[in-house]
Amino acid sequence: MVDADQTFVIVGGGLAGAKAAETLRAEGFTGRVILICDERDHPYERPPLSKGYLLGKAERDSVFVHEPAWYAQHDIELHLGQTVDRVDRAAKTVRFGDDGTLVRYDKLLLATGAEPRRLDIPGTDLAGVHHLRRLAHAERLKGVLAALGRDNGHLVIAGAGWIGLEVAAAARTYGAEVTVIEHGQTPLHSVLGPELGNVFAQLHQEHGVRFRFGVRLTEIVGQDGMVLAARTDDGEEHPAHDVLAAIGAAPRVGLAEAAGLELADRARGGGIVVDERLRTSDPDIYAAGDVAAFPHALFDTRLRVEHWANALNGGPAAARSMLGQDAVYDRVPYFFTDQYDLGMEYSGWAPPGSYDQVVIRGDAGKREFIAFWVREGRVLAGMNVNVWDVTGPIQRLITSRAVVDTDALADPHVPLESLA
């Protein structure tokens, strides 16, 4: 067991950081655990921010990872509203940004997450331009959507990714008018490809969402500091009272970069390069969650995953590695969404170009089906839509790398368990 005199510092107070702190104590570490969070709220989970909490179906307190008292009860030194502006690898210290306090570490975990990408166009300084990443953003946006619904207002969303679509669904539920601007030809193209992206386009169109594909926002027009409209590069002007920028997120690597840690190629997603045990290029520094770019042997590539399950599982894996355990991180990527009456779970990794066919089991028209992305007979990813309790079999199909009969894969009468 690691000596009780050691100090483990975690920079980043999201789900990955909080679960890492929890795991250190659960595994018997008795040294100092310091958790530094740049937000004033206690560590919380992010999925409710665009789902239940945004819709008013979940209370604010339900988003927190632990009760506030838990940290003191487990001797976790929690620093809220504090930033770290420097890591000195030679001295093994981190420096607080507000007062310059130095804290020495024996092991350091960077769980700094990601931040929303900004629109680089005129008008983004207007009061009605929003992002959704933090609890404070969700609190503000919930009030905005309620007001738009009450006043028959218009919301323009830049980006048809998961955040953009989930907010679109919430906005329509409140009664707001919604236009989604997406430079691709379908929603979620980089994740699902055109075949399944169209499922989500049709879902939203049936609920009154207007899509403009193949165009980009060029300007947000305002008057007296308020949004009036959004212009696109095809010359059209779209009515808007508020605009949400949902064009993705960038890993927060500034601290790691300044410390000289190896970073992944930005063109391939960026992030902090880690090994299979989530160690960075410095053996005493680890990274987990949205910011970590880790090698995945199953997919023969380096992945950076911005989803809840990666933070939930990556934080504990990094903590065990910090303790010297042989904790290889090789989880199959997993995420979920809820939009209107559609619930979905996705397992695997199959970007466009990596597969040669999509196999559908069930009725896609009724939105009760499982989709499989297949290459040379092997399942790379699976997505179950309004079909439940199949994540385990889907993930076993992926990890087994078994060559499956695609007719059997498409047949709902053939148990998935029999194909792995």
Share the mean pLDDT of the chain: 96
**pLDDT band for position 268 (cuts 50, 70, 90):** confident
**pLDDT band for position 420 (cuts 50, 70, 90):** confident
- Asked if the model's pLDDT at residue 27 lies above 80, the reply is yes
Query: Looking at residues 105-132, what average pLDDT do you find?
Result: 97
The span from the CA of 382 to the CA of 390, in Å, is 10
pLDDT attached to residue 194: 85
Counted residue by residue, the chain has a size of: 420
Query: Looking at residues 107-115, what average pLDDT do you find?
Result: 97
Enter the tokens of residue 95.
Answer: 């420096």
DSSP states of 148-202 as a string?
A: HHHHT-EEEEE--SHHHHHHHHHHHHHT-EEEEEESSSSTTHHHHHHHHHHHHHH
Query: Looking at residues 205-213, what average pLDDT do you find?
Result: 98
- Asked if the model's pLDDT at residue 244 lies above 70, the reply is yes
The residue type of 229 is A
Structure-token match 């999509």, residue found: 358
* 97 Cβ contact partners less than 8 Å away, ≥ 6 residues apart: 82, 83, 84, 85
Query: Looking at residues 382-402, what average pLDDT do you find?
Result: 97
Please report, rounded to a whole number, the percentage of residues in the chain having pLDDT higher than 70: 100
Asked if 103 and 85 touch (Cβ cutoff 8 Å), the reply is: no
Please report, rounded to a whole number, the percentage of residues in the chain having pLDDT higher than 90: 95
**pLDDT band for position 267 (cuts 50, 70, 90):** confident
The span from the CA of 315 to the CA of 306, in Å, is 13
pLDDT tens column, 124-159? 999 999 999 999 999 999 999 999 999 999 999 999
- Asked if the model's pLDDT at residue 2 lies above 90, the reply is no
Asked if 24 and 323 touch (Cβ cutoff 8 Å), the reply is: yes
For 91-102, b/e burial (b = at least 16 CB within 10 A) is ebbbbbeeeeee
pLDDT attached to residue 34: 98
Coil vs helix vs strand at 18: helix
pLDDT tens column, 281-332? 999 999 999 999 999 999 999 999 999 999 999 999 999 999 999 989 999 9
- Asked if the model's pLDDT at residue 1 lies above 80, the reply is no
Q: Which residues pair with 6 in a beta bridge?
A: none
pLDDT attached to residue 3: 75
